[in-house]
Chains A and B, each alone.
Chain A
Amino acid sequence: MIFAIAGRELRSLFLSPLAWSILAVVQLILAYMYLAQIDLFMQLQPRLPMLPSAPGITEIVAVPLLGNAAMILLLVVPLITMRLISDERRNQTLSLLFAAPISMSAIVVGKFVGVMTFLLIMLLMILMMPLALLLGGSLDFGVLAAASLGLFLLLASFAAVGLFMSSLTAQPTIAAVSSFGVLLLLWILDWAGNNVGVEAGQGNDVLAYLSILRHYEALLKGVFNSADVVYYLLFIAVFLVLSIRRLDAERTQQ
């Protein structure tokens, strides 16, 4: 059931030129950053052996690449998730799902799985770049794995927010703008924590802790802390449950 919905979602994504152009543009921009990062590594290379505990190619090329990818995907994921539910509401196809013997949670999870499959394809395409370095060197797979897990969880959180925003409206653009707003806000919550946190104490620590970026940074450094993973899982669960509640409320509205 879930996979039927996920499959259709993925299909619809690839039937529109939007998905293809997003894949292409993201790949192009990240490839440029990747090449710039390799350039930097080439410059640094002669001096690296002299440093104690010098950063390797994973730290210099792969980690910044995944860090930048998070920033770009923050802009891009809302465009992919915007149509999930709002488009169905606008075309009145939602009644097909409501009249079928499936639960609201299956609908929401199905759509989430569909969009996550797309994002996973995108993630694999991005990971091809650091993996290509294996042709001429060796990678720190521990760091790379932690960073990719971080990016995956981050993307899943973006998608969950996007899905919820899409369930609120019948206009895809409104869904895109509002999920972008929410994500950016969650991203920069951290600033308040950083700047004034030292003097003001507790309240800002909480804000910093809630920031979606803070947890990603730890994983990027290769630090696998289960608290960070649990943060993302909870974050995803909350927005999925909110979407289910929203769809349930659809029937009782007005």
Chain B
Amino acid sequence: MSMDSLITVENLYRYYGELCAVHDLCFEVRRGEVIGFLGPNGAGKSTTMRIIGGNLAPSAGRVLINGIDILDRPTEAKAELGYLPESPPLYRDLTVDEFLTYCARINRIPRPQMRAAIDSAKERCGLTEVGRRLIVNLSKGYQQRVGIAQAIIHSPSVVLLDEPTVGLDPIQIREIRSLIRDVANEHSVVLSTHILPEVQSVCDRVQIINRGRLVLNESIEQMREKLQATTLLVALRSMPLINELESISGVQGVESLDDGRVRISYATDDDPSDAIVEQAVANGWGLHELIPERETLEQVFVDITSSDAHAHVEAESEGAVA
């Protein structure tokens, strides 16, 4: 455990009756980091978030916030924590100002600093205009902002956001994302989501969880390297023989597709695009399409989660046979 780790999750288990929602989860969140917590629905994201947020007790394992055990000394640990649950906890019959004042008070912000804290939270979340309106009358996007304002009002070192963009329209999603990026400048953020572009646009590190287990934990740079292209899609008007293409230097394999195009695979450090273009021009093949096929985070996600599900099904059927 490094000095700088704000959240340390150690061997976390959570059972709902027989069902194991979180299985032996271990990870760390360092200062200033934005972590994307990815997983299909029902993977255990929200359960983990609720445990870290102090809303749910783990069946086994420990959660340390800034080195403080959340079960042993909950009030101290929670002072460092801002939490926005899946459905924002808003008192709908209060105005935005009243609600934020209440949040400031229950988060133990001293009275002299209260005004400033509320104003800065409102400004950062773009709520200055709606301070006197009732929460019930706000649009869902604004309600979500009030939820985020509530989570950052006491400037905690970690902010947990559980699916903050669910149910918003595309414009609101963009606004909330830029708000999250803004929040990330000052706080560590754990962002749970099942929307992949969100992770790619906001996060420093990706953690994929599936069936309660952590199946991937990598920084965005590592992911980018992984996601480098290794195939090209090529469309030619007059198709040459396959072995003519294979003879181009760098080409490892050629596969012709049903729509008349070919997929050319190559080694990562030896891109044959230039050679293909030269050959095509020289031989008059009529090249009109050349697309590098990039593996997306989505494919990685689908591969990991579905192969895992597959393995799980196989393991179960083996068990049945035995």
Contacts and interface: CB of A to CB of B under 8 A. Distances in A.
Contact of A1 (B16, B85, B90, B105): B105
Interface string B44-57: 00000010011111
Contact of A93 (B16, B75, B78, B90): B90
Interface residues of A, number: 25
Given A12-B91, A12-B93, A101-B76, A95 B85 contact: yes
Contacts of A5: 106
Contacts of A12: 91, 93-94
B319 interface: no
Given A1-B105, A1-B108, A251-B56, A96 B89 contact: yes
Contacts of A93: 89-91
A98 B91 contact: no
Nearest to A249: B57
In terms of DSSP, what is the predominant structure of the interface of chain A? Answer: helix
A195 B75 CA distance: 52
A94 B56 CA distance: 12
B13 interface: no
Nearest to B17: A254
A198 B34 CA distance: 74
Contacts of B17: 254
Nearest to B82: A99
A98 B57 contact: no
Interface in B64-100: 74-79, 81-83, 85, 87, 89-94, 98
Given A1-B106, A4-B102, A5-B106, A99 B90 contact: no
Interface string A7-43: 1100110011000000000000000000000000000
Nearest to B76: A101
A226 interface: no
Contacts of B150: 96
B193 interface: no
A102 B106 contact: yes
A4 B107 CA distance: 10
Q: Which of B54, B94, B106, B108 has the most CB of A within 10 A?
A: B106
B107 A95 contact: no
Contact of B78 (A7, A94, A99, A254): A99
A100 B104 CA distance: 10
Interface in B263-290: none
Interface of A: 1, 4-5, 7-8, 11-12, 15-16, 91-103, 251-252, 254
13 contacts: A4-B106, A8-B102, A12-B91, A15-B93, A92-B85, A92-B89, A93-B89, A94-B89, A98-B53, A99-B53, A99-B55, A100-B106, A102-B108
